Chains A and B, each alone.
Chain A
Amino acid sequence: MKFLPVTACLLLVPLSLSAGQSQKTAEATQQTVQPKAPSGSAETGDQVFAANCSRCHAAPMSLSPRITGTVIMHMRVRARLSKRDEQLLLKYLAP
Protein backbone atom coordinates (compact mmCIF):
# COMPACT_ATOMS: atom_id res chain seq x y z
CA MET A 1 0.00 0.00 0.00
CA LYS A 2 2.81 2.42 0.78
CA PHE A 3 3.89 2.22 -2.86
CA LEU A 4 0.47 3.13 -4.21
CA PRO A 5 1.33 6.86 -4.51
CA VAL A 6 4.55 5.98 -6.37
CA THR A 7 2.65 3.75 -8.77
CA ALA A 8 0.08 6.47 -9.34
CA CYS A 9 2.85 8.98 -10.06
CA LEU A 10 4.38 6.58 -12.59
CA LEU A 11 1.17 6.67 -14.56
CA LEU A 12 0.04 10.23 -13.97
CA VAL A 13 3.24 12.17 -14.64
CA PRO A 14 3.68 10.96 -18.25
CA LEU A 15 -0.06 11.34 -18.82
CA SER A 16 -0.02 14.95 -17.72
CA LEU A 17 3.02 15.60 -19.91
CA SER A 18 1.37 14.00 -22.93
CA ALA A 19 -1.83 15.95 -22.40
CA GLY A 20 0.05 19.16 -23.06
CA GLN A 21 1.28 18.12 -26.45
CA SER A 22 -0.18 19.82 -29.46
CA GLN A 23 -2.04 17.99 -32.19
CA LYS A 24 0.22 19.79 -34.64
CA THR A 25 3.26 17.77 -33.64
CA ALA A 26 1.38 14.50 -34.10
CA GLU A 27 0.25 15.55 -37.56
CA ALA A 28 3.77 16.61 -38.48
CA THR A 29 5.11 13.22 -37.44
CA GLN A 30 2.58 11.45 -39.62
CA GLN A 31 3.46 13.63 -42.58
CA THR A 32 7.10 12.62 -42.43
CA VAL A 33 6.13 8.97 -42.93
CA GLN A 34 3.32 9.35 -45.45
CA PRO A 35 5.33 10.21 -48.58
CA LYS A 36 6.74 6.67 -48.64
CA ALA A 37 3.29 5.12 -48.84
CA PRO A 38 1.42 4.31 -52.02
CA SER A 39 -1.90 5.95 -52.66
CA GLY A 40 -4.97 4.10 -51.48
CA SER A 41 -3.42 2.19 -48.59
CA ALA A 42 -1.45 5.07 -47.08
CA GLU A 43 -3.49 5.55 -43.92
CA THR A 44 -3.98 1.91 -43.14
CA GLY A 45 -0.39 0.89 -43.81
CA ASP A 46 0.86 3.79 -41.73
CA GLN A 47 -1.47 2.90 -38.89
CA VAL A 48 -0.52 -0.78 -38.93
CA PHE A 49 3.17 0.16 -38.95
CA ALA A 50 2.92 2.68 -36.13
CA ALA A 51 0.55 0.69 -33.94
CA ASN A 52 2.22 -2.71 -34.14
CA CYS A 53 5.89 -1.70 -33.93
CA SER A 54 5.37 0.60 -30.95
CA ARG A 55 3.67 -2.11 -28.92
CA CYS A 56 7.12 -3.43 -28.05
CA HIS A 57 9.82 -1.08 -29.37
CA ALA A 58 10.52 2.20 -31.13
CA ALA A 59 9.62 1.94 -34.81
CA PRO A 60 12.68 2.12 -37.09
CA MET A 61 13.09 5.40 -38.97
CA SER A 62 13.98 3.59 -42.18
CA LEU A 63 14.11 0.06 -43.54
CA SER A 64 15.83 -0.97 -46.76
CA PRO A 65 13.38 -2.51 -49.27
CA ARG A 66 15.96 -5.30 -49.76
CA ILE A 67 15.30 -6.68 -46.31
CA THR A 68 11.74 -5.48 -45.72
CA GLY A 69 10.12 -8.78 -46.68
CA THR A 70 12.30 -10.76 -44.29
CA VAL A 71 11.80 -8.34 -41.41
CA ILE A 72 8.03 -8.31 -41.87
CA MET A 73 7.92 -12.12 -41.98
CA HIS A 74 9.85 -12.19 -38.70
CA MET A 75 7.54 -9.62 -37.16
CA ARG A 76 4.44 -11.41 -38.41
CA VAL A 77 5.41 -14.45 -36.36
CA ARG A 78 6.74 -12.54 -33.37
CA ALA A 79 3.88 -10.01 -33.14
CA ARG A 80 1.20 -12.43 -34.39
CA LEU A 81 0.20 -10.17 -37.26
CA SER A 82 -2.52 -11.14 -39.71
CA LYS A 83 -1.85 -11.78 -43.39
CA ARG A 84 -3.73 -8.58 -44.18
CA ASP A 85 -1.46 -6.58 -41.88
CA GLU A 86 1.60 -8.16 -43.49
CA GLN A 87 0.45 -7.18 -46.98
CA LEU A 88 -0.38 -3.62 -45.91
CA LEU A 89 3.04 -3.27 -44.30
CA LEU A 90 4.81 -4.59 -47.40
CA LYS A 91 2.95 -2.18 -49.67
CA TYR A 92 3.63 0.66 -47.27
CA LEU A 93 7.33 -0.01 -46.72
CA ALA A 94 8.27 -1.34 -50.16
CA PRO A 95 5.58 -0.19 -52.62
Chain B
Amino acid sequence: MKLSISRKWTPYLYMLLLCTCALLRAQDAGEEADHAGHIPIIAGGVGYIQNVNGGVTTLMPQVSPVLVAPFGRHFLLESRTDFTGFFQREDLTSGPFKGKVFTNVEYSQLDWLADTHVMPVGGRYLLPFGLYNERLGPIWIKNLQDSPFTASIGTRTSGAGDGLLLRGVAVQTPAMSTQYSAYYSFHCGVDQLQSARTAGGDVSLFFSKPRFEIGTSYQRFLEARHINNSAVYISWQPLEASLDVKSEYDYSYFGSGYWVESAYRLDRLSLPSLIQKVQFVGRMQQVFPQNGGGNGLPRVRTERFDVGLNYYLRDNLRIISSYARSFSSQRNANVWNFGFTYRFTIPLWFGAKR
Protein backbone atom coordinates (compact mmCIF):
# COMPACT_ATOMS: atom_id res chain seq x y z
CA MET B 1 0.00 0.00 0.00
CA LYS B 2 2.76 2.38 1.00
CA LEU B 3 4.69 1.50 -2.17
CA SER B 4 1.74 2.27 -4.46
CA ILE B 5 1.18 5.64 -2.78
CA SER B 6 4.85 6.58 -3.17
CA ARG B 7 4.78 5.57 -6.87
CA LYS B 8 1.63 7.57 -7.41
CA TRP B 9 3.16 10.71 -5.97
CA THR B 10 6.67 10.31 -7.37
CA PRO B 11 6.08 12.33 -10.61
CA TYR B 12 4.51 15.15 -8.63
CA LEU B 13 7.39 15.15 -6.17
CA TYR B 14 9.91 15.33 -9.05
CA MET B 15 7.98 18.22 -10.58
CA LEU B 16 7.86 20.03 -7.24
CA LEU B 17 11.59 19.50 -6.77
CA LEU B 18 12.39 20.77 -10.29
CA CYS B 19 10.18 23.82 -9.87
CA THR B 20 11.79 24.60 -6.51
CA CYS B 21 15.31 24.26 -7.95
CA ALA B 22 14.41 26.46 -10.92
CA LEU B 23 12.89 29.06 -8.63
CA LEU B 24 15.90 29.09 -6.30
CA ARG B 25 18.30 29.31 -9.24
CA ALA B 26 16.38 32.27 -10.62
CA GLN B 27 16.43 33.90 -7.20
CA ASP B 28 20.18 33.29 -6.85
CA ALA B 29 20.82 34.90 -10.23
CA GLY B 30 19.01 38.03 -9.15
CA GLU B 31 20.80 38.30 -5.80
CA GLU B 32 24.44 38.50 -6.84
CA ALA B 33 24.67 42.28 -6.62
CA ASP B 34 27.21 42.02 -3.81
CA HIS B 35 30.65 40.43 -3.45
CA ALA B 36 29.97 38.34 -0.41
CA GLY B 37 31.58 34.93 -0.34
CA HIS B 38 29.49 31.88 0.46
CA ILE B 39 32.09 29.33 1.49
CA PRO B 40 32.06 26.75 4.30
CA ILE B 41 33.52 27.96 7.56
CA ILE B 42 34.26 26.73 11.04
CA ALA B 43 33.45 29.32 13.66
CA GLY B 44 32.88 29.17 17.37
CA GLY B 45 34.32 29.90 20.74
CA VAL B 46 37.24 28.77 22.87
CA GLY B 47 37.56 29.51 26.53
CA TYR B 48 38.93 28.56 29.87
CA ILE B 49 37.00 29.20 33.08
CA GLN B 50 38.22 28.64 36.61
CA ASN B 51 35.19 28.38 38.86
CA VAL B 52 35.25 28.43 42.66
CA ASN B 53 31.87 27.61 44.19
CA GLY B 54 31.68 27.44 47.98
CA GLY B 55 35.40 26.68 48.17
CA VAL B 56 35.38 23.93 45.52
CA THR B 57 37.50 24.72 42.49
CA THR B 58 36.50 23.50 39.00
CA LEU B 59 38.66 23.97 35.93
CA MET B 60 36.63 24.18 32.73
CA PRO B 61 38.42 24.38 29.38
CA GLN B 62 35.91 24.57 26.53
CA VAL B 63 35.81 24.64 22.76
CA SER B 64 32.60 24.81 20.69
CA PRO B 65 33.25 24.67 16.95
CA VAL B 66 30.38 25.34 14.56
CA LEU B 67 30.51 24.00 11.02
CA VAL B 68 28.56 26.25 8.67
CA ALA B 69 28.28 25.04 5.06
CA PRO B 70 26.05 26.86 2.56
CA PHE B 71 24.59 25.18 -0.52
CA GLY B 72 23.75 28.06 -2.80
CA ARG B 73 22.09 30.97 -1.14
CA HIS B 74 19.08 29.16 0.20
CA PHE B 75 20.32 26.09 2.02
CA LEU B 76 22.62 26.01 4.99
CA LEU B 77 23.99 23.08 6.96
CA GLU B 78 25.20 23.97 10.43
CA SER B 79 26.34 21.89 13.34
CA ARG B 80 27.85 22.76 16.71
CA THR B 81 29.59 20.36 19.06
CA ASP B 82 30.65 21.37 22.52
CA PHE B 83 33.71 19.93 24.24
CA THR B 84 33.89 20.96 27.88
CA GLY B 85 36.27 19.62 30.48
CA PHE B 86 35.35 19.42 34.18
CA PHE B 87 38.31 18.95 36.46
CA GLN B 88 38.05 19.02 40.25
CA ARG B 89 40.42 18.09 43.07
CA GLU B 90 40.23 14.45 44.12
CA ASP B 91 38.82 15.32 47.57
CA LEU B 92 37.11 18.48 46.30
CA THR B 93 39.38 20.80 48.29
CA SER B 94 42.66 18.87 48.26
CA GLY B 95 44.54 16.44 46.08
CA PRO B 96 45.31 16.44 42.36
CA PHE B 97 42.81 17.60 39.77
CA LYS B 98 40.85 14.83 38.06
CA GLY B 99 37.99 14.85 35.63
CA LYS B 100 36.99 14.29 32.05
CA VAL B 101 35.95 16.05 28.88
CA PHE B 102 32.28 15.89 27.95
CA THR B 103 31.19 16.00 24.32
CA ASN B 104 27.77 17.23 23.32
CA VAL B 105 26.29 17.73 19.85
CA GLU B 106 24.32 20.87 20.58
CA TYR B 107 22.70 21.17 17.18
CA SER B 108 23.01 19.76 13.68
CA GLN B 109 20.45 21.18 11.32
CA LEU B 110 19.62 21.93 7.72
CA ASP B 111 18.12 25.36 7.12
CA TRP B 112 16.09 26.36 4.13
CA LEU B 113 16.10 30.12 3.75
CA ALA B 114 12.96 29.95 1.66
CA ASP B 115 11.39 33.28 2.37
CA THR B 116 11.25 36.16 4.81
CA HIS B 117 8.18 34.71 6.41
CA VAL B 118 9.12 31.03 6.56
CA MET B 119 12.48 29.38 7.10
CA PRO B 120 12.05 25.63 7.72
CA VAL B 121 14.75 23.98 9.80
CA GLY B 122 15.09 20.21 10.09
CA GLY B 123 17.28 18.04 12.26
CA ARG B 124 18.60 18.76 15.71
CA TYR B 125 18.08 22.39 16.68
CA LEU B 126 18.38 24.50 19.83
CA LEU B 127 15.02 24.95 21.52
CA PRO B 128 13.93 28.55 21.05
CA PHE B 129 12.75 29.27 24.56
CA GLY B 130 13.41 32.59 26.27
CA LEU B 131 16.59 34.56 25.74
CA TYR B 132 19.26 32.24 26.99
CA ASN B 133 19.36 28.84 25.33
CA GLU B 134 19.51 29.84 21.70
CA ARG B 135 20.93 33.35 21.82
CA LEU B 136 23.18 33.74 24.83
CA GLY B 137 24.49 30.20 25.24
CA PRO B 138 27.87 30.42 23.46
CA ILE B 139 30.79 31.03 25.77
CA TRP B 140 31.95 34.10 23.81
CA ILE B 141 28.52 35.77 23.92
CA LYS B 142 27.33 35.54 27.50
CA ASN B 143 28.41 38.34 29.78
CA LEU B 144 28.39 36.10 32.86
CA GLN B 145 29.50 32.51 32.45
CA ASP B 146 27.02 30.95 34.88
CA SER B 147 23.56 30.59 33.34
CA PRO B 148 20.53 31.80 35.31
CA PHE B 149 18.74 29.18 37.44
CA THR B 150 15.67 29.34 35.21
CA ALA B 151 17.63 28.53 32.03
CA SER B 152 16.56 24.91 32.49
CA ILE B 153 12.88 25.83 32.09
CA GLY B 154 11.72 25.09 28.57
CA THR B 155 15.00 23.51 27.50
CA ARG B 156 14.76 20.03 28.94
CA THR B 157 16.11 17.52 28.48
CA SER B 158 19.18 18.46 26.46
CA GLY B 159 18.55 22.02 25.32
CA ALA B 160 17.84 20.73 21.82
CA GLY B 161 14.93 19.28 19.92
CA ASP B 162 14.93 16.71 17.13
CA GLY B 163 12.32 17.42 14.49
CA LEU B 164 11.08 20.42 12.59
CA LEU B 165 11.35 24.10 13.36
CA LEU B 166 9.70 26.91 11.44
CA ARG B 167 10.83 30.48 11.92
CA GLY B 168 10.84 33.81 10.23
CA VAL B 169 9.52 37.34 10.21
CA ALA B 170 5.75 37.59 10.41
CA VAL B 171 5.50 41.34 9.89
CA GLN B 172 8.15 43.96 9.25
CA THR B 173 7.80 47.72 9.02
CA PRO B 174 10.51 50.40 9.26
CA ALA B 175 9.61 50.86 12.92
CA MET B 176 9.28 47.26 14.11
CA SER B 177 9.40 43.62 13.21
CA THR B 178 7.56 40.61 14.57
CA GLN B 179 9.55 37.39 14.60
CA TYR B 180 8.37 33.91 15.42
CA SER B 181 9.51 30.32 15.89
CA ALA B 182 7.35 27.21 16.11
CA TYR B 183 8.58 23.65 16.55
CA TYR B 184 7.79 20.06 17.23
CA SER B 185 10.38 17.70 18.65
CA PHE B 186 10.04 13.97 18.99
CA HIS B 187 11.52 11.84 21.75
CA CYS B 188 14.97 10.52 20.95
CA GLY B 189 17.21 8.47 23.20
CA VAL B 190 20.14 8.00 20.81
CA ASP B 191 23.50 8.97 22.28
CA GLN B 192 24.35 12.62 21.51
CA LEU B 193 20.91 13.16 20.01
CA GLN B 194 18.75 12.99 23.13
CA SER B 195 15.63 15.06 23.06
CA ALA B 196 12.21 15.14 24.66
CA ARG B 197 8.83 15.15 22.93
CA THR B 198 7.85 18.78 23.02
CA ALA B 199 5.99 21.38 21.02
CA GLY B 200 6.17 25.11 21.38
CA GLY B 201 6.95 28.47 19.98
CA ASP B 202 8.31 31.93 20.52
CA VAL B 203 7.13 35.37 19.36
CA SER B 204 9.03 38.61 19.77
CA LEU B 205 8.50 42.22 18.77
CA PHE B 206 11.58 44.30 18.02
CA PHE B 207 11.24 48.07 17.84
CA SER B 208 14.18 49.22 15.76
CA LYS B 209 14.40 52.87 16.79
CA PRO B 210 14.63 52.41 20.56
CA ARG B 211 16.18 48.96 19.99
CA PHE B 212 13.76 47.41 22.40
CA GLU B 213 12.53 43.86 22.17
CA ILE B 214 9.76 42.12 24.04
CA GLY B 215 8.94 38.47 23.57
CA THR B 216 7.24 35.43 24.95
CA SER B 217 7.85 31.68 24.71
CA TYR B 218 5.61 28.74 25.33
CA GLN B 219 6.33 25.03 25.44
CA ARG B 220 4.21 21.97 26.04
CA PHE B 221 6.38 19.20 27.45
CA LEU B 222 4.88 15.94 26.19
CA GLU B 223 6.81 13.25 28.02
CA ALA B 224 5.38 11.11 30.88
CA ARG B 225 4.10 14.19 32.68
CA HIS B 226 2.62 16.80 30.37
CA ILE B 227 3.52 20.24 31.65
CA ASN B 228 3.44 23.81 30.37
CA ASN B 229 6.48 26.07 30.38
CA SER B 230 6.30 29.75 29.58
CA ALA B 231 8.54 32.79 29.55
CA VAL B 232 8.32 36.53 29.02
CA TYR B 233 11.44 38.54 28.25
CA ILE B 234 12.70 41.97 27.30
CA SER B 235 15.96 43.15 25.77
CA TRP B 236 17.16 46.70 25.25
CA GLN B 237 20.32 48.13 23.67
CA PRO B 238 19.98 51.92 23.27
CA LEU B 239 21.76 53.52 20.32
CA GLU B 240 23.35 56.21 22.46
CA ALA B 241 25.29 53.88 24.78
CA SER B 242 27.04 50.53 24.99
CA LEU B 243 24.40 49.33 27.34
CA ASP B 244 22.70 45.95 27.26
CA VAL B 245 19.74 45.27 29.50
CA LYS B 246 18.00 41.92 29.49
CA SER B 247 15.42 40.39 31.75
CA GLU B 248 13.27 37.28 31.74
CA TYR B 249 10.53 35.68 33.80
CA ASP B 250 9.99 31.93 33.50
CA TYR B 251 7.22 29.73 34.79
CA SER B 252 7.02 25.96 34.99
CA TYR B 253 5.27 23.22 36.96
CA PHE B 254 8.48 22.82 38.99
CA GLY B 255 8.91 26.47 39.81
CA SER B 256 9.25 30.00 38.57
CA GLY B 257 11.85 32.70 38.66
CA TYR B 258 13.23 35.79 37.06
CA TRP B 259 16.56 37.43 36.30
CA VAL B 260 17.63 40.94 35.41
CA GLU B 261 21.00 41.49 33.75
CA SER B 262 22.71 44.69 32.79
CA ALA B 263 26.04 45.12 31.00
CA TYR B 264 27.80 48.37 30.28
CA ARG B 265 30.96 48.94 28.21
CA LEU B 266 33.02 52.07 28.53
CA ASP B 267 34.06 52.15 24.86
CA ARG B 268 32.09 55.31 24.03
CA LEU B 269 33.24 57.37 26.96
CA SER B 270 36.05 59.91 26.63
CA LEU B 271 38.53 57.79 28.54
CA PRO B 272 41.98 56.35 27.82
CA SER B 273 41.74 53.46 25.34
CA LEU B 274 42.90 50.95 27.97
CA ILE B 275 39.92 51.78 30.16
CA GLN B 276 37.46 51.87 27.25
CA LYS B 277 37.85 48.10 26.95
CA VAL B 278 36.25 47.48 30.32
CA GLN B 279 32.73 46.08 30.67
CA PHE B 280 30.75 46.04 33.91
CA VAL B 281 28.06 43.41 34.37
CA GLY B 282 25.45 42.88 37.05
CA ARG B 283 22.71 40.32 37.43
CA MET B 284 20.11 39.61 40.06
CA GLN B 285 17.87 36.54 40.10
CA GLN B 286 15.37 34.75 42.27
CA VAL B 287 13.85 31.32 41.85
CA PHE B 288 10.76 29.96 43.62
CA PRO B 289 10.50 26.16 43.41
CA GLN B 290 7.12 24.46 43.62
CA ASN B 291 6.03 20.83 43.58
CA GLY B 292 9.45 19.85 44.91
CA GLY B 293 11.47 21.83 42.40
CA GLY B 294 14.33 20.00 40.75
CA ASN B 295 14.48 19.20 37.01
CA GLY B 296 17.25 21.74 36.70
CA LEU B 297 15.86 24.13 39.31
CA PRO B 298 16.99 24.45 42.93
CA ARG B 299 14.81 22.58 45.43
CA VAL B 300 14.56 25.54 47.80
CA ARG B 301 13.96 29.21 47.19
CA THR B 302 17.26 30.77 46.13
CA GLU B 303 18.47 34.28 45.42
CA ARG B 304 21.69 35.17 43.71
CA PHE B 305 23.50 38.37 42.89
CA ASP B 306 26.35 38.47 40.33
CA VAL B 307 28.77 41.23 39.44
CA GLY B 308 31.28 40.86 36.63
CA LEU B 309 34.20 42.70 35.12
CA ASN B 310 35.19 41.82 31.55
CA TYR B 311 38.10 43.25 29.61
CA TYR B 312 37.99 43.21 25.81
CA LEU B 313 41.54 42.84 24.50
CA ARG B 314 39.99 42.67 21.00
CA ASP B 315 36.41 42.46 19.84
CA ASN B 316 36.73 38.65 19.83
CA LEU B 317 39.07 38.13 22.79
CA ARG B 318 38.28 39.05 26.37
CA ILE B 319 39.30 38.33 29.93
CA ILE B 320 36.33 37.57 32.14
CA SER B 321 35.85 37.68 35.88
CA SER B 322 32.85 37.62 38.15
CA TYR B 323 31.77 37.23 41.73
CA ALA B 324 28.40 35.98 42.93
CA ARG B 325 26.74 35.44 46.26
CA SER B 326 23.86 32.99 46.46
CA PHE B 327 21.40 32.82 49.33
CA SER B 328 19.15 29.91 50.27
CA SER B 329 17.89 28.14 53.37
CA GLN B 330 20.32 25.28 52.66
CA ARG B 331 23.46 27.38 52.40
CA ASN B 332 24.91 30.67 51.33
CA ALA B 333 27.87 30.51 48.99
CA ASN B 334 30.39 32.65 47.17
CA VAL B 335 30.96 31.85 43.50
CA TRP B 336 33.98 33.13 41.60
CA ASN B 337 34.72 32.83 37.89
CA PHE B 338 37.88 33.82 36.12
CA GLY B 339 39.16 33.07 32.63
CA PHE B 340 39.09 34.11 29.00
CA THR B 341 36.94 33.61 25.90
CA TYR B 342 37.88 33.84 22.23
CA ARG B 343 35.69 33.81 19.12
CA PHE B 344 37.22 32.38 15.94
CA THR B 345 36.21 32.07 12.28
CA ILE B 346 38.15 29.83 9.89
CA PRO B 347 37.34 29.66 6.14
CA LEU B 348 37.40 26.10 4.78
CA TRP B 349 37.74 27.10 1.14
CA PHE B 350 40.03 29.38 -0.83
CA GLY B 351 38.79 32.28 -2.90
CA ALA B 352 35.17 31.66 -3.81
CA LYS B 353 34.41 35.37 -3.81
CA ARG B 354 31.35 35.76 -6.00
Q: Which A residues contact B (CB, under 8 angstroms)?
A: 3, 6-7, 9-11, 13-15, 17-18, 21-23, 25-26, 29, 47, 50-51, 54-61, 64-74, 76-78, 80-84, 86-87, 90-91, 93-95
Contacts and interface: CB of A to CB of B under 8 A. Distances in A.
Contacts of A17: 241, 243, 264, 269
B237 interface: yes
Contacts of A81: 169
A77 B116 contact: no
A29 B148 CA distance: 33
Interface centre among A26, A80, A83, A94 (most CB of B within 10 A): A80
21 contacts: A6-B284, A7-B284, A11-B245, A14-B243, A26-B240, A55-B213, A61-B315, A64-B345, A67-B39, A67-B345, A68-B37, A69-B36, A69-B70, A69-B73, A70-B41, A73-B70, A73-B111, A76-B113, A77-B113, A83-B116, A95-B34
A95 B35 contact: yes
A6 B208 contact: no
A69 B51 CA distance: 37
Interface centre among A14, A23, A57 (most CB of B within 10 A): A14
B115 A60 contact: no
Given A14-B245, A21-B241, A54-B237, A66 B347 contact: yes
A55 B211 CA distance: 8
Interface centre among A26, A50, A54, A58 (most CB of B within 10 A): A58
B26 to A, nearest CB: 15
Contacts of B282: 9-10, 13
| A-B pairs, 10 with minimum CB distance | A18-B241, A69-B36, A69-B38, A94-B36, A66-B37, A80-B179, A14-B264, A68-B36, A90-B34, A82-B116
Contact of A21 (B34, B269, B303): B269
Interface residues of B, number: 76
Contacts of B305: 3, 6
Interface of A, helix, strand, loop or mixed by DSSP: helix
Nearest to B76: A73
Interface centre among B237, B241, B354 (most CB of A within 10 A): B241
A50 B243 CA distance: 13
